């Protein structure tokens, strides 16, 4: 998800494209729609061929995306971010026989190669070291952990724990849920993040009322309610993602938290907390008022995360929508269905 924040609004793009990872004009710049339309297999030790080592890092590639898709965005840009990226290394097959041939179509992809072309000038890589496995036995009790295919957070019902991959290990995760009221409750995961914000006084719910210019009269005790960001822990279309982050951050849910795993259906948490942290400044920009001051304030604001927890919020499932009953926030079911492909 690419986000571009201007002085008056925030625009977004969803990107699913490929870009050459080896800096050369010999090979095609992109594999086109093949990565989306064709079946992709994992590279195994038995896979024949030479595998060229990438020479461009992810920051270089994402920088190109932001430049390419941000050209049509009105200037000046106050802030931009890419969130929820899933970076894959895809090897596309070619062979050389006087010319460079596409090994899938068995057709040349270029005219005659330069006289000084030497395929041995490219550095090879051993692809077998790219895949790492983490045991999904509960580190606390040894029980089998549960989680959907795309889940980043695994659950242990035996000892009521949740685990998050960090490097080659699993780290215990702070979590809780707000109890639903019906048998049709579905729980959606959100990252609740507490952070230090420099350049802006936003420590409490009372501060939030002023910053967002909400139509509420100040009440006793609001100064004691700690401000936290609430960011979706699941992938969804960019516009919906930002809307949910803004809405739940503005309402600051204060319901009683249950430290047990929910008994009903749980949507998998598949957006890393690191990506959620990258969206904090963007979320702040979505509700800060007045908008005309955004250009002056936002560049000087620094947000440093201090702590986080995974909170499962209850949604009632209707014919067409998931509805959060306490705050009347709705999410179209088709949106969640299509999010499985993100």
| pLDDT (tens digit per residue) in 235-289 | 999 999 999 999 999 999 999 999 999 988 999 999 999 999 999 999 999 999 8
Residue 90 contacts residue 42 (beta carbons within 8 Å): no
Flag whether pLDDT at 339 surpasses 80: no
More confident residue, 135 or 230: 230
Q: What percent of the chain has pLDDT over 70?
A: 98
Q: 130-134, 205-209, 223-227, 306-310: lowest mean pLDDT where?
A: 130-134
Burial class (CB in 10 A: 0-12, 13-18, 19+), 234: buried
- Using alpha carbons, select from 11, 22, 128, 165 the residue that is nearest to residue 79: 11
Kindly list the domain boundaries of the chain, sorted by start residue. Answer: 1-131, 142-173, 174-341
What is the CB neighbour count within 10 angstroms for residue 22? 13
Q: How far apart are CA 153 and CA 233, in angstroms?
A: 10
Entry field: residues in the chain: 342
Q: Which two tokens stand for residue 1?
A: 């998800």
Task: Dump pLDDT digits (tens) for 143-196.
Answer: 999 999 889 999 999 999 999 988 889 999 999 999 998 888 999 999 999 999
Question: What pTM, to 2 d.p., does this model score?
Answer: 0.87
Of all residues in the chain, what percent carry a pLDDT higher than 90? 51
pLDDT surpassing 70 at residue 197 = yes
Residue 233 clears pLDDT 90, i.e. is over it = yes
């Amino acid at each position: 998800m690419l986000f571009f924040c201007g002085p008056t609004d925030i625009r977004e793009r969803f990107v699913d494209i490929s870009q050459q990872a080896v800096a050369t004009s010999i090979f095609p710049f992109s594999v086109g729609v093949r990565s989306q339309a064709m079946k992709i297999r994992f590279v195994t030790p038995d896979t024949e061929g030479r595998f060229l080592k990438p020479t461009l890092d992810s920051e270089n590639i994402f920088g190109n995306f932001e430049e390419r898709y941000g050209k049509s965005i009105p200037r000046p840009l106050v802030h931009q971010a890419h969130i929820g990226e899933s970076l894959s290394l895809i090897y596309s097959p070619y062979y050389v026989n006087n010319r460079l041939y596409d090994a899938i179509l068995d057709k040349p992809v270029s005219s005659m190669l330069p006289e000084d072309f030497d395929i041995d000038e490219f550095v090879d890589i051993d692809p077998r070291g790219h895949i790492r496995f983490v045991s999904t036995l509960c580190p606390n009790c040894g029980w089998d952990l549960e989680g959907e295919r795309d889940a980043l957070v695994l659950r242990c019902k035996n000892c009521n724990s949740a685990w998050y991959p960090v490097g080659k290990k699993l780290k215990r995760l702070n979590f809780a849920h707000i109890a639903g009221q019906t048998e049709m409750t579905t729980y959606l995961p959100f990252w609740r993040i507490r952070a230090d914000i420099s350049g802006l006084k936003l420590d409490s719910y009372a501060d939030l009322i002023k910053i967002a210019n909400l139509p509420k009269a100040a009440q006793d005790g609001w100064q004691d309610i700690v401000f936290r960001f609430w960011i979706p822990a699941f992938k969804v279309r960019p516009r919906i993602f930002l809307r949910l982050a803004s809405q739940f951050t503005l309402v600051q849910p204060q319901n009683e938290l249950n430290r047990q795993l929910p008994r009903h259906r749980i949507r998998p948490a598949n957006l890393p907390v690191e990506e959620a942290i990258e969206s904090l400044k963007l979320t702040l920009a979505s509700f800060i008022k007045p908008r005309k001051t955004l250009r002056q304030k936002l560049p000087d604001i620094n947000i440093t995360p201090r702590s986080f927890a995974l909170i499962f919020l209850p949604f009632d499932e209707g014919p067409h929508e998931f509805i959060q009953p306490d705050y009347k926030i709705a999410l179209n079911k088709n949106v969640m269905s299509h999010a499985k492909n993100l």
